Structure 1
Amino acid sequence: MSNAMLEVRHLRLVRAIAEEGGATRAASRLHLTQSAVSHQLAELEGRLGVALFTRVRRQLVLTAAGERLVEAARTMLGDLARLERELHRAGTRKREVLRLVVECFTSYHWLPPIVARIADEHPHVEVRIVTEATREPVAALLRGQIELALVSSPVRDRELVSTPLFEDEWTVIMAPSHRLASRPHVTAKELGAETLFAHDAPRSDVERLRELIAAERATMPRVVLVPLTDALVELVAAGLGVAIVSRWAIAPWERRGEIVTRRFTREGLAERWSAVYRRDAEPRLPLARLTELLADATFAAPSRRKVSGGRR
């Protein structure tokens, strides 16, 4: 255990609980479980020897000590962000690293032309892929392990900038010779009879799939986890099973005719992709410019619709 009674994570914790009004919404904002938020709060109150919140009508309300700490947290976190920016500006310009990742997928066919543009416009910036953050990119952003992520999961955190990029949909991919390739769409019941290759998807996607299958009273397919998108597509192309993926992620294989895509359910399942980056990294890295290039690149395919609206 650290000798310090207060750490930066504690300041972010109490600020989130105070601004969200409870542990559940704070957990969503911090990308933690509710039990983790409650445990960390209890640990902090134990360290300080004072209650920071009281429960009133299912809400956590600040005590006098809690109000003092939240006020100090807002000031200190703001000062810390400003200090980081000032230190970067004060130092000599050095080579910077911009780390990025795509949620769920390891498909980066769209990246080389973007890297080339960034290298031309910002020669001091090196773009790197951090595949270890594929499963939980937003948490990796908040931990400072990456600077930008492409995500389809909702993001609610004031420390992050989120810019809508494009709309896509879940699609079932299969070999051209697959028995379902002649269908205009695949139902949940038909999916239940297949081997389903899948990435370790976000919990929200898994729950969405389970709800659809339950609504049709279908059975869950046999799921085989495959961490790499290339490997997943090759298994599908070999006729060993099917997969549900975002269509943009497998566009090169579809264009080459190695696989075919079919809508999942008659209505289809839409999703919205956004670029998310750390607000405090913006002064030293061309994150807004990279987001512009991403929007242009991902909108290149006719099956996807660019999303209007600014950053938030």
Structure 2
Amino acid sequence: MLERIHLEILSAIKEHGTLTKAADSLHLSQSALSHSIKKLESQVATQIWKKEGRNLRLTAAGERIQTLASRVLPQFSHTELLLSQIAKGEAGALRIGMECHPCYQWLLRVIHPYLQRWPNIDMDVKQEFQFGALGALLSYEIDVLITPDPLFKPQINYIPVFGYEHRLVVCAEHKLADQEFVLPEQLAQEVLFSYPVEPLRLDIFSQFLNPAKCSVKKHKNIETTEIMLQMVAANRGVCALPGWLVDEHAKSMPIKSLRFGEKGINKQIYVGIRNKEQQIEYLMDFISQAKKTK
């Protein structure tokens, strides 16, 4: 009854809105698309789409099928890619999604020895997810998710690879620079630089400022670690970063790091994979390399 072509047609209609554009995207004729859906409508005894001028609108039944398509089609593509690689004698593909902005430099240290051991692995790193990468992992758009903030799901296994302390970064000449730790109220007059992430997902807010009902004078987003640290080194504001990353840059920059409160904020980097893929050798070797890289 339901065939892959039906899923592809409804996904194309959902994306493009018209029969003409959907047909062009699938490299099929409009009559072929219409005939395929009319046949399906006859089989299920219900309408799949309705015409609204030049546009097509999916009915409730059509929306159900399209929802299925959004889950299943990426799995088809993923499996076909793996089969193609097997046929060519290639080992496989590793698509990595990053939710940890400052972890890119750490990842480079993981990738270098890994690629030397797996020369036939095709690798891609996607950083644009921010906090939407879990859906990409579940829908087979990526194979590995690197995150300090796992959202636990039954289908996903999160493996901790290394722990670190999240720290406040200040200029070496900042008034707080000589302290071992900072209190929430001491940041009330500070400009805080952070990556462009929702404030509620930033540890400095969720684990430090918000519980104490405190805030900062101003909050500015900066996309790159290097520019952020240059701004801090110039005493234009403060930021919060993993301690290991700050220690690396402190060797060549006038910056210092402080603990958040007396106990600090301790974090863990996790590698998330789909449960059914724990037997894939090259995938597990990536996790093994991640655990050895600090």
Question: Could you say which residue in structure 2 is the equivalent of 1:228?
Answer: 224
Letter in 2 for 1:46: A
Query: Is 2:61 aligned against 1:47?
Result: yes
CA 208–236 in structure 1, closer or farther in 2 if over 3 Å, else same: closer
Distance in 2 between the 1:181 and 1:240 partners? Answer: 14
CA deviation profile, 1:288-310 (whole Å, cap 9, x unmatched): 11111111112xxxxxxxxxxxx
- Picking from 140, 143, 152, the partner of 1:144 is 140
Distance 1:159 1:186, change over 3 A: same
Aligned residue for 1:54?
none
Looking at structure 1, the residues matched to 85 and 155 of structure 2 have their Cα atoms a distance apart, in angstroms, of: 20
Match of 1:243 among 236, 239, 242: 239
How many residues matched?
239
Report deviation, 1:192: 1.8
1:191 corresponds, among 180, 187, 190, to 187
Asked if the contact 2:161/2:290 (under 8 Å) is kept, the reply is: yes
Q: Write out aligned runs for 1:14-163 (5 A).
A: 46-47=60-61, 87=83, 91-94=87-90, 96-163=92-159
Cα-Cα RMSD: 3.9
CA deviation string 1:32-65 (max 9, x = no partner): xxxxxxxxxxxx9932899xxxxxxxxxxxxxxx
Give the AA of the match of 1:296: K
**In the alignment, is residue 179 of structure 1 matched against residue 175 of structure 2?**
yes
Q: CA deviation at 1:164?
A: 0.9
Aligned to 2:255: 259
> Which amino acid is the alignment partner of residue 236 of structure 2?
L
Unpaired segments ≥5 residues, structure 2: 12-57, 65-71
Quick one: which amino acid aligns to residue 242 of structure 2? S
Distance in 1 (alpha carbons) for counterparts of 2:269 and 2:145: 10
CA–CA distance in structure 1, aligned partners of residues 271 and 151 of structure 2: 10
Identity %: 18
- What SS does the corresponding residue of 1:190 show, helix, strand or coil? helix
The answer to whether the 8 Å contact 1:173/1:243 transfers is yes
Secondary structure of the equivalent of 1:182?
A: coil
Q: 1:128 to 1:216 in 2, by over 3 A?
A: same
Q: Which has the larger radius of gyration?
A: 2
Question: Residues 93-140 of structure 1, C-alpha deviation per residue, up to 9 Å, x if partnerless?
Answer: 237442324324144333444323222211111433322224433233
- For residues 216 and 253 of structure 1, do their structure 2 counterparts lie closer, same or farther at Cα, with a shift above 3 Å needed? same
**TM-aligned CA distance change 1:202 to 1:293, over 3 Å:** farther
Relative distance call for 1:95 and 1:238 in structure 2 (3 A) is: farther
Counterpart position of 1:16:
none
The amino acid that maps onto 1:151 is T
